[in-house]
């Protein structure tokens, strides 16, 4: 097979590496296209060399912009390159603007579309990611769902493509980090006595007052809070004047490589985040997770008792940090493919494209 894989954001690089390696190991040709949605070195240099992701053969350099502008620019570029390269399929995973662009671009070029991380749903079109993932699922010929729950949700919407429960390659990537060894960070309080936080979702960063209130609540917790800052959040803080006060608990850090972040997560008292990726990773590591959202897609982690929703911050956040959620049983890695997703994605594509 000749697969044109589209990536554009930090999570797509992390998840893409195991799949990219599995494609090559199975003797297939992969052409990597980077849309340029994320362009900061801090976001693109997230994986070490040797993680399995080749340098992109095509870079579109679309950069920042509104949802419409970003999707349109990337879709145009992807369609042009797909029509020129004539791959057997375009593969894109997730729910970012780059994912929707790749779906539109593949369709425009008449190339079969494989959508990974299919069937993940929140149930609200207010979230830009939900719009992107629903559209990509319905444009896809092959839908690769990360869990049985996601596969069922996709099938219930009767997409035109075939849906396969094929596992979550982010869990494969976690295994890769463990085998490579973690990076280190300069400042780290004793294990179990600090919190690792990330905040970057539009619902938390782009509403006036919301980000400032969350940061105030984090700053007032009685444990040090390490917060690697996504550029979106840094920019929103600058624009809204939401700087933490001297002497509080917050320690602002630069975005960090995947291995270093997971090393911190593993040693934290709890992870406090609005990221779906970090929420799953905390679950798989058996680390309590406080979700800075009112609802989330990865309900398996909440039902298992390892994650708790604290969208309002404040007292809910304080209570969750004082008594971090610990499930009664060990996290069920099998529900996410048990770390074998990359090879299952490749097999599903082989069977489908035959
Ligand atoms: C995107 C995804 C989100 C994913 C996240 C992971 C969409 C709609 N959202 O969010 O699902 O969880 O990536 O990181 O696709 N910016 C920079 N440098 C960069 C990238 C972004 O400064 O390299 C700033 C720009 O001001 C930009 C803003 O961040 O306007 C938002 O970036 P964007 O790519 O729209 O979405 P993310 O917030 O990164």
Q: Is 228 helix (H, G, I), strand (E, B) or coil?
A: strand
Placement of tokens 């979702």 in the chain: 201
Q: What is the pLDDT of residue 51?
A: 83
Examine the pLDDT at 243 and tell me if it is beyond 80: no
Ligand 1 mean position, distance from CA 39 (Å): 9
Q: Which domains does the chain have, with CATH numbers?
A: 2-168+337-353 (3.40.50.2000), 195-334 (3.40.50.2000)
Ligand 1 midpoint to CA 1 (Å): 31
Q: Sheet of 2-7: strands edge to edge?
A: 58-59, 29-34, 2-7, 89-93, 113-116, 142-145, 162-165
pTM of the model: 0.96
Alpha carbons 268 and 277: distance in angstroms, whole number: 16
Average pLDDT value for residue range 73-94:
98
Q: Each residue of 13-67: pLDDT tens digit? A: 999 999 999 999 999 999 999 999 999 988 888 888 778 899 999 999 999 999 9
Query: At 234, is the secondary structure helix, strand, or coil?
Result: helix
Q: Which atom of ligand 1 approaches the CA of 43 most closely?
A: 23
Residue 269 has pLDDT above 70, yes or no: yes
171 Cα to the center of ligand 1, angstroms: 22
Q: Which of 156, 164, 30, 165 is nearest to 90 (CA)?
A: 30
For the chain, how are helix, strand and coil distributed in percent, rounded to 5? 45, 15, 40
Atom of ligand 1 nearest to the CA of 70: 35
Predicted pLDDT at 351: 98
**121 pLDDT band (50/70/90 cuts)?**
very high
3-state secondary structure of 116: strand
Q: What is the pLDDT of residues 292-308, one digit of tens each?
A: 999 999 999 999 999 99
Catalytic residue list: 200
Contact 271, 282 (CB under 8 A): yes
Going by C-alpha positions, the residue among 241, 176, 245 that lies closest to residue 211 is 241
Smallest Cα–Cα separation from 272: which of 236, 324, 230?
Answer: 324
Mutate to test the pocket of ligand 1, among 64, 129, 134, 278 (most ligand atoms within 8 A of CB): 64
| CA contacts within 13 A on the Cβ side of 219 | 14
In percent, how much of the chain has pLDDT > 90?
A: 87
Percent of the residues in the chain that have a pLDDT greater than 70, as a whole number? 98
Burial string for 232-253 (b: 16+ CB within 10 Å, else e) reads bbbebbeebebebeeeebbbeb
Q: Closest ligand 1 atom, CA of 277?
A: 12
- What average pLDDT score do residues 318-332 get? 96
Q: Which atom from ligand 1 is nearest to the alpha carbon of 232? A: 29
Task: Give the C-alpha separation, 296 to 278, whole Å.
Answer: 12
Q: Residue whose CA is closest, atom 20 of ligand 1?
A: 38
Average pLDDT over residues 126-143: 97
Cα dihedral 134, 276, 230, 10, rounded to 10, equals -70
Testing ligand 1's pocket by substitution, the residue of 7, 10, 16, 38 carrying the most ligand atoms inside 8 A of its CB is 38
Our measurement of the distance from residue 70's CA atom to the centroid of its chain's CA atoms, rounded to an integer in Å, reads 18
Report the C-alpha gap between 278 and 191 in whole angstroms.
Answer: 18
pLDDT at site 183: 66
- Mean pLDDT of the residues in the chain: 95
Q: How far is residue 84 CA from its own chain's centroid?
A: 29
Determine the pLDDT at residue 245: 74
For tokens 């559209």, name the residue.
Answer: 135
Listed in sequence order, the residues at least 6 apart from 56 whose beta carbon sits closer than 8 Å to its beta carbon are 7, 32, 33, 34
Using pLDDT thresholds of 50, 70 and 90, give the confidence band for residue 241: confident
Q: Give the residue whose CA is nearest to atom 26 of ligand 1.
A: 232
User: What is the CB < 6 Å shell around ligand 1?
Assistant: 9-11, 37-40, 43, 64, 95-97, 128-129, 200, 230-232, 235
pLDDT tens digits for range 163-198: 999 999 999 999 998 888 776 666 678 899 999 999
User: Distance, CA 149 to ligand 1 centroid (Å)?
Assistant: 27
């Amino acid at each position: 097979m000749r697969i044109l894989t589209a990536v554009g954001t930090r999570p797509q690089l992390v998840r893409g590496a195991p799949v990219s390696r599995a494609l090559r190991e199975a003797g297939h040709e992969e052409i990597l296209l980077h849309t340029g949605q994320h362009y900061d070195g801090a976001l693109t240099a997230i994986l070490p060399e040797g993680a399995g992701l080749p340098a992109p053969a095509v870079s579109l350099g679309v950069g920042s912009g509104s949802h419409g502008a970003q999707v349109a620019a990337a879709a145009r570029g992807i369609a042009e390159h797909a029509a020129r390269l004539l791959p057997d399929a375009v593969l894109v995973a997730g729910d970012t603007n780059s994912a929707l662009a790749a779906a539109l671009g593949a369709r425009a070029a008449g190339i079969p579309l494989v959508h990974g991380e299919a069937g993940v749903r929140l149930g609200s079109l207010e979230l830009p990611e939900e719009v992107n993932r629903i559209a990509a699922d319905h444009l896809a010929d092959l839908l690769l769902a990360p869990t049985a729950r996601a596969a069922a949700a996709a099938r219930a919407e009767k997409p035109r493509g075939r849906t396969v429960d094929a596992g979550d390659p982010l869990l494969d990537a976690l295994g890769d980090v463990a085998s490579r060894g973690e990076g280190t960070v300069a400042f780290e309080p004793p294990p179990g006595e600090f919190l690792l936080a990330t905040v970057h979702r539009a619902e938390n960063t782009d509403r006036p007052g919301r980000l400032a209130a969350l940061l105030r609540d984090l700053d007032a917790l009685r444990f040090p809070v390490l917060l690697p800052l996504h550029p979106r959040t840094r920019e929103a803080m600058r624009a809204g004047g939401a700087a933490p006060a001297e002497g509080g608990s917050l320690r602002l850090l630069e975005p960090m490589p995947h291995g270093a972040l997971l090393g911190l997560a593993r040693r934290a008292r709890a992870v406090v985040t609005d990221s779906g990726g970090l929420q799953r990773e905390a679950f798989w590591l058996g680390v309590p997770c406080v979700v800075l959202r009112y609802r989330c897609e990865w309900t398996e982690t909440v039902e298992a008792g390892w994650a708790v929703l604290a969208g309002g911050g404040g007292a809910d956040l304080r209570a969750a940090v004082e008594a971090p959620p610990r499930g009664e049983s060990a996290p069920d890695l099998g529900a996410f493919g048990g770390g074998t997703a990359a090879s299952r994605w490749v097999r599903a594509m082989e069977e489908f494209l035959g």
